[in-house]
């Protein structure tokens, strides 16, 4: 993307992540580029690591931290103003940027182990606005790292986005969990084709599949499942004055269901009955899943529970720590590209050897240039 003259060789080599983005196409006219793309990406990433939440924040970070930035790249023209920076992010090909991101993460961790949770998120301030930000992300629950993401027009388009996301990922041996929107035969087949397994939530979007499962499970429950083969697991958790009991029943004998619905690789049905007690109130909920795994309930219960890591360890962190819901970017590719940069920052800050919270690590990164530099050298 640019030469590295006048830069400390050791520090330049430390920014290894930039090598995964060097083939990114730059839509700007080559002769008129004042701010090389690698410098822009480095500026954005360091600023977000140090707490920047907006394009204006990033531009101001560049003004105040130019000496730090020049430890890694020349920045001969300094750093762009916020409007120029917004234009660069708007024209950067979001799909190509996301593919580079996926390659970078794959180099960091290899093939993810355990659950890969796929879920969509809409930034609240973007709802109803042109260019609203809805991203479908893949999250490695065990490693707590974002594996990749795809921008879609709205939640209804997740069905189209999920196969595209799966195409980008190496997931052999992983267990892919998706909510009911992803419960599609084509998606199940694609997961199987990539030598992974699936756990898909059931709702009413697959004809009579959920109805058939619920009727059978309810009928068998009244007989204590004497006419079929099941395994069971129960857990009780108490937190913040709330007690939640989860009873997981896995129905292993599903030949009758497969005969009627013919789902790729389907081996078991999972029923999760949750009871929540809080402030004298009791709430009950029953959820159903289909899976390509033929495992006991104790193992499948752990996989189902791991899916919610994408809510607690990704969506919540983006909203509460990175203030993602307050993002006001609207132009072209800028919203998707800024989200990708936040995912990069989250992955790097999670890999830091620190016992501090993510929020505090970002504060330390803003206070301590050496700590900030160490984050991108990992």
pLDDT at 154: 67
Q: What H or E segment, with its residue span, contains residue 230?
A: strand 230-239
- pLDDT tens digits, one per residue of 85-125: 999 999 999 999 999 999 999 998 888 989 999 998 877 65
pLDDT at 202: 94
The phi, psi pair for 122, rounded to 5°, reads: -110, 130
Look at residue 326 and tell me if it is in a domain.
no
pLDDT at 29: 80
Look at residue 15 and tell me if it is in a domain.
yes
- Structural domain that includes position 33: 9-93+333-376
pLDDT at 126: 46
pLDDT at 103: 93
pLDDT at 204: 73
pLDDT at 131: 46
Look at residue 212 and tell me if it is in a domain.
no
All residue ranges of the chain with pLDDT < 50 are 2-5, 9-10, 126-129, 131
Report the number of secondary-structure helices (H) and strands (E) in the chain: 16, 9
Look at residue 85 and tell me if it is in a domain.
yes
Look at residue 325 and tell me if it is in a domain.
no
Structure tokens at 156: 């209804």
Query: What total of structural domains would you count in the chain?
Result: 1
Grouping H, G, I as helix, E, B as strand and the rest as coil, residue 376 is helix
Look at residue 300 and tell me if it is in a domain.
no
Look at residue 155 and tell me if it is in a domain.
no
What DSSP assignment string belongs to 319-370? Answer: HHTS-GGG----STTHHHHHHHHHHHHHHHHHHSS--S-HHHHHHHHHH-HH
Look at residue 207 and tell me if it is in a domain.
no
pLDDT at 135: 85
pLDDT at 155: 64
pLDDT at 125: 55
Residues in the chain: 378
Q: Which residues contact 55 (CB under 8 A, 6 or more apart)?
A: 82, 85, 86, 89, 329, 334, 338
pLDDT at 64: 96
């Amino acid at each position: 993307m640019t030469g590295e003259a006048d830069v400390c060789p050791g520090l330049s080599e430390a920014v290894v992540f930039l090598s995964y983005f060097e083939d990114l196409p730059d839509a700007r006219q080559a002769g008129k580029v004042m701010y090389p793309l690698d410098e822009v990406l480095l500026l954005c990433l360091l600023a977000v690591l140090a707490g920047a939440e907006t394009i204006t924040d990033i531009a101001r970070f560049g003004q105040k931290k130019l000496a730090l930035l020049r430890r890694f790249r020349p920045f001969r023209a300094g750093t762009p103003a916020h409007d120029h920076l917004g234009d660069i992010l708007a024209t950067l090909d979001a799909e190509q940027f996301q593919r580079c991101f996926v390659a970078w993460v794959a180099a960091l961790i290899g093939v993810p182990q355990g659950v890969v949770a796929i879920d969509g998120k809409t930034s609240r301030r973007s709802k109803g606005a042109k260019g609203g930000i809805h991203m479908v992300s893949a999250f490695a629950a065990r490693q707590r790292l974002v594996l990749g993401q795809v921008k879609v027009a709205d939640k209804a388009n997740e069905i189209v986005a999920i196969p595209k996301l799966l195409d980008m990922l190496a997931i052999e041996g992983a267990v892919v969990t998706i909510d009911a929107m992803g419960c599609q035969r084509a998606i199940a087949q694609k997961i199987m084709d990539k030598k992974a397994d699936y756990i898909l939530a059931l709702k009413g979007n697959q004809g009579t599949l959920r109805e058939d499962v619920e009727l059978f499970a309810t009928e068998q429950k009244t007989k204590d499942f004497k006419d079929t083969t099941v395994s069971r697991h129960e857990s009780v958790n108490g937190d913040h004055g709330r007690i939640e009991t989860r009873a997981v029943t896995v129905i292993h004998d599903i030949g009758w269901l497969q005969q009627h619905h013919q789902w790729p690789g389907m081996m078991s049905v999972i029923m999760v009955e949750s009871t929540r007690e809080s402030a004298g109130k009791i709430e009950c909920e029953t959820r159903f899943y289909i899976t390509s795994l033929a495992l006991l309930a104790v193992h499948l219960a752990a996989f189902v529970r791991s899916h919610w890591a994408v809510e607690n360890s990704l969506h919540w962190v983006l909203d509460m720590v990175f203030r993602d819901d307050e993002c006001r970017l609207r132009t072209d590719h800028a919203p998707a590209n800024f989200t990708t940069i936040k995912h990069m920052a989250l992955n790097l800050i999670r890999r830091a050897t620190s016992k501090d919270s993510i929020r505090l690590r970002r504060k330390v990164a803003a206070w301590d240039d050496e700590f900030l530099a160490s984050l991108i050298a990992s």
